[in-house]
Amino acid sequence: MPPGLFVGLMSGTSLDGVDCALVDFSGPPVLAATRLLPYPPALRGALLELSRSGGDELERAGRLGVELSALYAAAVNALLAETGMDATGIAAIGCHGQTVRHRPESGFTVQLVNPALLAERTGITVVADFRSRDIAAGGQGAPLVPAFHAACFRSTGRHRVVVNIGGIANLTDLPTPAHEAVRGFDSGPGNMLLDLWAGLHLGADCDRDGGLASTGAVIQELLERLLADEYFDRPPPKSTGRERFNAEWLAAKGAHACVGHAARNAADVQATLAELTARTIAAGIERWCAGAEEVYACGGGVHNADLMRRLQAGLGARRLATTDVLGVPADWVEAMAFAWLARQTLRLEPGNRPEVTGAAGPRVLGAIYPA
């Protein structure tokens, strides 16, 4: 049985940086320490470029994997230095890597990382490549965090939903154990389109606190075109990413054409995109998580007051809070989840939920790179 301390590393589709969490699993999961390393602008730009098809992809992917892993190692080593921990006291690092392709329909997914280099630079066993085995078993390879949500947040008396609002928003349906099985799926865009539009019109990585969206008015005809995408009506299991919801998708739906037309402006489009995120999350809960009483949010989107207000309006009488009230800080749930998944791997226990991903059955996930 491995010792109880694990590190989780998460860098999500928002491309904002590396979340590094030290988690103690000697009892119920406890977040022992955290470290955040923002992506340097050049690295973020290069990763965004690699998320689209282009020339010399193998060379660029190899170099970026090395650069990312150096940053991951720096985050881990800084965290250990701050806490006075020695690498020998850590059972393993669970490293998600940076997704640059997610094509489960074609049988593959790509998360950039050089796990051998990460193990070399930290002196800690690394577990990586969590999604491939689930896809090989016929699953979507995503979302994977519902298994951790079930272990951490399920209640014997209340039907809960956990929504992670990262670049993509994903939902975990947690009925009481006496009722239906755990379900989960990607509802659609989370912060991804909001960040994209903010970059174009604010010159910023995000619309901080929803400041731009809160000054705009929803463009109903644009919202209807966005909501008409067939993904939103597709039943779970399903997952999505930047391959679908991107600048080209927005242009095809006429978002850019709205600016300056009939006195509309960039704030109106931003408000419409915020409404899209809130509406599709709420609709996903209503349609696929029937009977849910409570909704707990995590991820970067919880800091967007405008978005959270829209989401609460869409949820009606259902209670909305962050996972902080359940004892797990909203900013660190995903990093903790990959620490937990690394623990599952070392214990040779399944890390997926077949009813979530659509895989043929439970599978031990990840590849192990010993220290």
Q: What is the pLDDT of residues 144-180, one digit of tens each?
A: 999 999 999 999 999 999 999 999 999 999 999 877 7
Quickly tell me which residue has 């103690």 as its tokens: 24
**Chain-wide mean pLDDT for the chain?**
94
Token pair of 203, please?
């010159």
Q: What is residue 261's predicted lDDT score, i.e. its pLDDT?
A: 65
DSSP 308-364: HHHHHHHHTTSEEEEGGGGTS-GGGHHHHHHHHHHHHHHTT-----HHHH--SS---
Contacts of 105 (CB under 8 A, 6+ apart): none
- Residue 211's SS3 state is coil
- Residue 117's SS3 state is helix
Cα Rg, the chain, nearest whole Å:
20
Instruction: Tell me the whole-structure pTM to 2 decimals.
Output: 0.93
Token pair of 293, please?
């009483």
What end-to-end distance do the CA atoms of the chain give, in Å? 17
Homologous superfamily of the 5-142+332-369 domain (CATH): ATPase, nucleotide binding domain (3.30.420.40)
Q: What is the pLDDT of residues 234-277, one digit of tens each?
A: 999 999 999 999 999 999 999 987 876 665 799 999 999 999 99
Candidates 173, 164, 110, 107; CA nearest to 140 is: 107
What band does 1 get if pLDDT is binned at 50, 70 and 90? very low
Q: What is residue 262's predicted lDDT score, i.e. its pLDDT?
A: 60
Q: What is the pLDDT of residues 266-313, one digit of tens each?
A: 999 999 999 999 999 999 999 999 899 999 999 999 999 999 999 999
Handedness of CA 55, 205, 323, 183 (dihedral sign): negative
Residues 74-93, mean pLDDT to the nearest whole number: 96
**Helix (H) or strand (E) run with residue 279 in it:** helix 266-288
Token pair of 337, please?
């989840």
Fold of 145-326: Nucleotidyltransferase; domain 5 (3.30.420)
Ramachandran sector of residue 263 (left: φ over 0; alpha: ψ -120 to 50; beta: rest): left
Cβ contact 184:143 at 8 Å: yes
Residues 51-76, mean pLDDT to the nearest whole number: 95
145-326 shares the fold of 5-142+332-369: yes
Residues 52-69, mean pLDDT to the nearest whole number: 94
Q: What is residue 142's predicted lDDT score, i.e. its pLDDT?
A: 93
Residues 319-347, mean pLDDT to the nearest whole number: 97
Domains in the chain: boundaries: 5-142+332-369, 145-326
Specify which residues 297 forms β-bridges with: 163, 322
Residues 64-76, mean pLDDT to the nearest whole number: 97
Specify which residues 101 forms β-bridges with: 110
| Statement: residue 355 has pLDDT above 50 | yes
